[in-house]
Amino acid sequence: MKDRKISDKAKSLLDKSNEERIVHIDKSVFIPYPRANEILEEMEDLLQHPKVNRMPNLLLLGRSNNGKTEVLNEFLKRHPAESRSDMDYAYAPVIYIQAPPGPSEHLFLNKFLMLLGVVVKPNEAPEKKLIRLMDILKNVQLKVLMVDEINALLAGSVTKQRFFLNMLKYMSNELKISIVAAGTAEAEQATRSDPQIKSRFPVRKLPLWQEGKAFRQLLHSFEYVLPLKESSLLYKGELPAKLYGLSGGTIGELANIVKSAAKHAIDTGSERITMDIIKECKFVARKSAADDEVI
């Protein structure tokens, strides 16, 4: 036990019940790794950027289930909204919203207003909703707007895609905010439909993981946060190749497998993840149409 290196949180749970440890394993925990840290640092630069006429933005691309949303949520966690005595509104420098299923300004504006706790008027014209939204965003002092699943834009015509993207550009220009859009490889196609939009959204990619030192270091990071009583040494022997093959190189699928195996290790009393535990545990593969992409 003295030689084991696990997080203080994981160590504090070792004497807790199996149920408490399993609940902890099921919680979403951000696992830092070099590429994610680079992107988060660049997003920090966006947050601190002075207001200029052409604010810098980012387009974050990655295969489905490969960590895009986790990066955005980690950034939001680092910069949460807060109440301030000198403000009538909450201070919200960072806001996260998921793009609607299609390039509909109606859905986007309705969803955004409801996210901010505003009652949406059924027959209100989109332009009036946009004016209300812009007024609120000025009051909360928004600096970085994160729009996830931007690839949903492709559900509509090129004309509608451009209209939606131009609305985002307008918001960035008027509010002097940075926008971080995230999606699968298809999202880049949507932004390419307009040269001005393309130039405003430099691409940052979260590529699929490859077998090797970096993947083993990632496995070490996963083990560091698991409240298991015995060392699993996920990053040694045959386990890295096994976990890589099952995960397909996506961090989301890897998390799914490791969590399922860790819970099974607790349930069986093994208290460590082994090849047998991985084979015995039941995990649901999270597949999607986007799984054929290569980024």
Domains in the chain: ranges and CATH? 8-28+225-286 (no CATH), 34-206 (3.40.50.300)
Lowest mean pLDDT among 96-110, 204-218, 239-253: 96-110
Over residues 214-235, the mean pLDDT reads 95
Residue 188: per-residue pLDDT = 83
- pLDDT of 148 above 90: yes
Q: What value does the mean pLDDT take over residues 86-115?
A: 88
Write out pLDDT tens, residues 152-193.
877 778 788 888 888 898 999 999 999 999 999 888 877 777
Q: Is pLDDT at 5 greater than 90 in this prediction?
A: no
Count CB neighbours of 152 within 10 A.
Answer: 23
DSSP state of 179: E
What pLDDT score does 78 carry? Answer: 96
Helices (H), the chain: 8-13, 18-26, 34-48, 68-78, 105-115, 126-139, 158-175, 186-191, 195-200, 213-224, 239-247, 251-268, 275-280
Report whether pLDDT(285) > 80. no
Q: Determine how many CB atoms are found less than 10 A away from the CB of residue 264.
A: 20
Model confidence pTM above 0.75 = yes
Q: How is residue 82 annotated by DSSP?
A: B
Of all residues in the chain, the percent with pLDDT exceeding 70 is: 94
> In the numeric block, which tokens belong to residue 54?
């052409």
User: What is the mean predicted confidence (pLDDT) over 269-289?
Assistant: 78
Question: Could you tell me the pLDDT band of residue 84, with boundaries at 50, 70 and 90?
Answer: confident
Query: Over pLDDT 90: what percentage of the chain?
Result: 67
